[in-house]
Amino acid sequence: MSASQLPAKSSAEAAPLAQFQRIRSSRAFDEIAAQIRTELASGRLAVGSRLPSERALSEQFGVSRNTLREALRSLEHAGLIRLQKGARGGAFISQHSGEAIATGLMDMYHVGTIQPAQLTEARIWLESIVVREACRRATAADIDMLNRNIDEAQEARRRGDFASRAERHIEFHRMLARLTDNPIMVIVMNGVLDVLAHFVQRIGEYDNSFVLPSRRRFMEHFAAGDADAAVAEMESCLKRLQRSYMSRIQAAEGAPAAKAASRARRNPPAAQR
Partner DNA sequence: CTTTGGATTTTGGTTCAACCATTCTACTTT
Partner DNA sequence: AAAGTAGAATGGTTGAACCAAAATCCAAAG
What H or E segment, with its residue span, contains residue 174? helix 162-179
Contact 176, 260 (CB under 8 A): no
Q: What is the DSSP string of 104-144?
A: HHHHHHHTTSS-HHHHHHHHHHHHHHHHHHHHHH--HHHHH
The only residue of 7, 43, 48, 86 in contact with DNA, by rule CB under 7 A: 86
Does the footprint of a copy of itself cover residue 47 (CB under 8 A)?
yes
Minimum separation from the CB atom of position 177 to DNA (A):
31
At CA 210, angle to CA 155 and CA 148, rounded to 5? 35
55 binds, among DNA, a copy of itself, none (CB under 5 to 8 A by kind): DNA
What H or E segment, with its residue span, contains residue 214? helix 211-223
Which CB atom, from 105 or from 212, has the smaller least distance to a copy of itself? 105
Minimum separation from the CB atom of position 92 to DNA (A):
9
- CB count in 10 Å sphere of residue 50: 16
87 binds, among DNA, a copy of itself, none (CB under 5 to 8 A by kind): DNA
Which CB atom, from 10 or from 272, has the smaller least distance to a copy of itself? 272
42 binds, among a copy of itself, DNA, none (CB under 5 to 8 A by kind): a copy of itself
Does the footprint of DNA cover residue 152 (CB under 7 A)?
no
Contact 234, 126 (CB under 8 A): no
116 binds, among DNA, a copy of itself, none (CB under 5 to 8 A by kind): none
Among 83-91, 205-213, 240-248, 252-260, the segment contacting DNA (CB under 7 A): 83-91
Which are the contacts of 261, defined by CB distance < 8 A and separation ≥ 6?
Answer: none
Site map 142..181 versus a copy of itself, x via CB under 8 A: --------------------------------x-------
Bridge partner residues of 64 (DSSP): none
